A and B are shown apart, each in its own frame.
Chain A
Amino acid sequence: MNLNSTLYAQLVVFFILAWFTMKFVWPPIVKALDERAKKVADGLAAAERGRHDLELATRRSVEALREGKEKSAEVLAQAERRAAQIVEEAKTQAKVEADRIVAGGKAEAEQEILRAREALRDQVAALAVAGAEKILRREINAKVHADLLSAIKQDL
């Protein structure tokens, strides 16, 4: 263990190496480490955000599904109601129509009856006149008894 000028040389080398490391080695490595730490932190935050978003989306989708089901049930019920209403309306209309037709028929029939009765009356009157004529031809002058005959005709 002898001391000599190697000591000074070592001292100088010591500082040169330390300076070099300080200048060219330490900053880039520490920078990389810090940046990576930041990256990892960002990544973790993003993952957390993603998980949160997923949760929200799931909740929203469940909500939408529920709403859809509700709406479809409502539409179905409405449709059923509407169908029943339509059937009901059709029924009513049909009844009215039928009634109208029946009434029309009835009225026509009555008209017909009336007309037939009129015709019958004319024919009966003519027949009666013809009969009476035959009878009266022998006894009565048709001209003389014309007002009598029309009075009879009126009564028929």
Chain B
Amino acid sequence: MSTEAITEHGPTAGEYIVHHLTHLNSTGHAQESIVQFSILNFDTLFYSLLLGLLTVFILHRAARKATPGVPGRFQAAVEILVELVSNQAKDLIHPEESRRFVAPLALTVFIWIFLMNAMDLLPVDLLPRLWEGVFGAAGGDPRHAYMRVVPTADLNATLGMSIGVLLVCLWYNVKIKGIGGWVHELFSAPFGKHPLLAPINFLMQLIEFAAKTLSHGMRLFGNMYAGEIVFMLIALMGAAWTTGGGVSGPLLWIGQVVAGSIWAVFHILIITLQAFIFMMLTLVYVGQAHESH
């Protein structure tokens, strides 16, 4: 998998990882500061849009052909997902009117995140290497051909979605409780209605919203980022056989195959689980926005 990434003069392991963790962005080189809103990550945008379109395409196909008669396998599969999300939504969000928006949102998020996570299962060097070829052929320096293919391993994507969920939560807070009711709740929950407690309550509420949103986005990001790095380390282990030589070389190669297989199989669980968790938390948070304290 990764042997191809080692060129004649071969990057070091550190260089290899840094190269793989650098986004294809609007500047053409790695982002320098932590927050820089002048930059766009083209790779994340491209893959998340592509997979988002694939998601709605799949769902729309199923929806167009949906019949109340005997369903085909494809329809049944989509229906299972719809039922899954719909049942969870029914448990967590009581007003039917809210479910009409939140349940489809949760379904989209589930499938979309699952597909984005599943990009992790492609060989780590496959798409970046192809991009290097294209970039080089277009006259660029292949060493600066950056590409990350897992959008959910980009904090921008996961935080973008979790902020989206936060906005939905705020919207329903206002919609269900009214502006006055919600402001009242901000200052009177969780500790109770007392002028002295109001600032503390408000602070707690702010912290709660921030913590929910950050943990929501960070959880998914962290899992996928870690998974990606483990795949890179496994690839590096195999790559080391060209430089290692001796008996350890072939063993390292076998090690990569074994470890890569095990981690990939385990990762199937993680990508599904993380997509499911993100969806469930979306429903839980929106459900909480409906509850008055």
User: Mostly helix, strand, loop or mixed at chain A's interface?
Assistant: helix
CA distance A149 to B178 in the complex (A): 164
Q: How far is the CB of B226 from chain A (nearest CB, A)?
A: 12
CA distance A21 to B54 in the complex (A): 12
CA distance A6 to B60 in the complex (A): 26
Q: Which residues of B contact A18 (CB under 8 A)?
A: 101, 104-105, 108-109, 164
User: Mostly helix, strand, loop or mixed at chain B's interface?
Assistant: helix
Q: Is A154 an interface residue (CB 8 A)?
A: no
Which among A14, A36, A38, A39 has the highest number of chain B CB atoms within 10 Å?
A14
CA distance A81 to B160 in the complex (A): 103
Q: Could you tell me how many residues of chain B have their Cβ less than 8 Å away from some Cβ of chain A?
A: 57
Q: Which residues of A contact B56 (CB under 8 A)?
A: 17, 20-21, 24-25
Q: How many A-B residue pairs have CB under 8 A?
A: 149
Hey, what's the 0/1 contact readout for B56-95 against A, CB within 8 Å counting as 1? 1001101110111101000100110011001000000000
- In contact, A36 and B156 (Cβ under 8 angstroms): no
- Contact partner, B82, options A5, A17, A24, A33, Cβ 8 Å: A33
Q: Is A9 an interface residue (CB 8 A)?
A: yes
Q: How far is the CB of A95 from chain B (nearest CB, A)?
A: 86
Q: How far is the CB of B152 from chain A (nearest CB, A)?
A: 10
Q: Which residues of B contact A28 (CB under 8 A)?
A: 63-64, 66
Hey, what's the 0/1 contact readout for A30-42 against B, CB within 8 Å counting as 1? 1111011011000
CA distance A73 to B56 in the complex (A): 78
- In contact, A22 and B105 (Cβ under 8 angstroms): yes
Q: What are 17 A-B residue pairs whose CB atoms fall within 8 Å in the complex?
A: A1-B34, A2-B35, A2-B39, A5-B38, A6-B154, A9-B40, A9-B45, A10-B48, A14-B161, A17-B56, A21-B56, A22-B104, A24-B63, A28-B66, A29-B63, A32-B67, A33-B83
Interface set of A (CB-CB < 8 Å, partner B)? 1-11, 13-15, 17-18, 20-22, 24-33, 35-36, 38-39
